[in-house]
Amino acid sequence: MTNKSRILVVASEYPAPDRASGDVRFFSLLKMLSEAYEVSFCTAAQSGQVKRLGAPDAQRYESDLKNLGIKVLPPGVARALREGSFDAVLFEFHYVARNFIEDVRVYQPEARIIVDSVDVAFHRLLSKAKVTGSKIDYDDALRVKASELAVYQAADVVVTVTQEDADILLNEDPSLPTVTLPNIHALHEPVKLTPESGNRLVFVGSFIHEPNVDAMRYFCSNILPLIAEAVPEVRLRIIGNAPPPEIAQLATERVEVLGYVAETKPFLETSAVSIAPLRFGAGMKGKIGEAMSFGLPVVTTTVGVEGFGLTPGVNVLVGDSPKAFAQAVVSLLQNKEVWERIGQAGYEFIKGNYSEPVVRRLVYRLFDELAIFPVIRIQALNSARRKLAHLVERYLIWRFK
């Protein structure tokens, strides 16, 4: 594809990077695309964002896209496909693509269809079902799995945020043409310990995302009391868009529930440890990469480090039980050498793997080489058909010999 390639981006609403880590990645991706290609953007369900946030905020997010040089089209994906001409159509999330893939094939038959999974939804839901033990949760995960895989099988390219997510999909269908575009993080001046930040923990995560609600309830009930036994002065700030009542009720003298903040930077710079006590989820956790981009040490779980390539004990601390998680936090609060070592190693890891210059090269490689993916997909499908035909032939020989 050339620098004049035309890309239509379709999402349920405008990205709001100050409200969700997934939107930080998505907005950064759009910025990179707008620097090299002709990008148009169309929403599929914009009225929901206006109703939820109000017209002024929705207009602000629209203006942010226009300021990148992106052409924002009126809502109405089918109309955009009928009236425009595009080399590629990029969908954010499988459930958005599900409604419009056939329209792309009809009105833009030459366009490549790219679906950004963001995370593998059925994997996240299956991991939730493991935690809850609920048959309802398990059945819901299987229902989503069937729908999600059908969308990916109809696309030309499936974008995953981690190689682990790609492996999950390829285990289900080896013919899926996947590429990985990870989270994207701007680097900041590394934080320093101060008397103000000395015993302060911070959690950042949108509470529209269910794993974050579970994580904070779990932490405050099972882990924070153990930390307080060793560090009575410990304090926690909970930051995140749309906290529900069960999160608001966690507020105490020790726990401050701030909810939505316009900018996380001042809070990360005045904290000692970032926590991510996630018990289920999928994809790459933006809260972890963001904290590390400030040089702030992170304590998380095995679920939290999925997809990063981090090394526990080297650039992150991991605790999967309340006791292990609490001990990891206490070790950072009480040992400055450990705090500096983990924080610096995390910062260098993000710089080398998920900083803007690194990911920009991956983005341009994908869109410049996009035409090869349908060929790969056809080759894979033909290979699968040949193997199936061979098995049928062997069965028939055995059955009627």
Orientation angle between helical segments 163-172 and 135-154, nearest 10 degrees: 90
The tens digit of pLDDT for each residue in 328-371 reads 999 999 999 999 999 999 999 999 999 999 999 999 988 887 64
CATH superfamily of 200-353: Glycogen Phosphorylase B; (3.40.50.2000)
Cβ within 8 Å of residue 195, ≥6 positions away: none
Q: What span, in angstroms and rounded, lies between the C-alpha atoms of 68 and 185?
A: 18
Task: Kindly tell me the burial class for residue 226, based on how many C-beta atoms sit within 10 Å of its own C-beta (0-12, 13-18, 19 or more).
Answer: middle
Angle value at C-alpha 17, between 11 and 20, nearest 5 degrees: 85
Sign of CA dihedral 86, 87, 91, 92: negative
Q: What span, in angstroms and rounded, lies between the C-alpha atoms of 237 and 141?
A: 32
- Within the chain, which residue ranges are assigned CATH 3.40.50.2000? 6-184+356-370, 200-353
Q: What span, in angstroms and rounded, lies between the C-alpha atoms of 353 and 142?
A: 33
Fold of 6-184+356-370: Rossmann fold (3.40.50)
Angle value at C-alpha 293, between 90 and 10, nearest 5 degrees: 10
- Kindly state the greatest CA–CA separation across the chain: 84
Closest C-alpha among 47, 65, 57, 53 to residue 9: 65
Which letter, b or e, does each residue of 127-140 get, where b requires 16 or more Cβ atoms within 10 Å of its Cβ?
bbbeeeeeeebbeb
Residues 122 and 143 sit within 8 Å (Cβ to Cβ)? no
Which tokens in the block code for residue 184? 């994207």
Q: What span, in angstroms and rounded, lies between the C-alpha atoms of 108 and 53?
A: 33
Q: Is 178 in a helix, a strand, or coil? A: strand
pLDDT at 196: 76
Residue type, position 174, single letter: P
Closest C-alpha among 81, 85, 104 to residue 38: 85
Helix (H) or strand (E) holding 390: helix 372-400
Determine the distance from the C-alpha atom of residue 16 to the mean position of all C-alpha atoms in its chain, rounded to a whole number: 13
Residue ranges, the chain, pLDDT below 50: 1-2, 371-401
Closest C-alpha among 177, 175, 185, 159 to residue 94: 159
Residues 236 and 224 sit within 8 Å (Cβ to Cβ)? yes
Cα distances (Å, whole numbers) of residue 216 to 128, 187, 228, 275: 15, 27, 16, 10
pLDDT at 384: 45
Q: Is 43 in a helix, a strand, or coil? A: strand
Which tokens in the block code for residue 9? 């981006």
Please state the pTM of the whole predicted model: 0.80
Cβ within 8 Å of residue 392, ≥6 positions away: none
**Could you tell me where the DSSP H helices lie in 21-120?**
21-36, 46-53, 55-67, 77-83, 94-97, 101-107
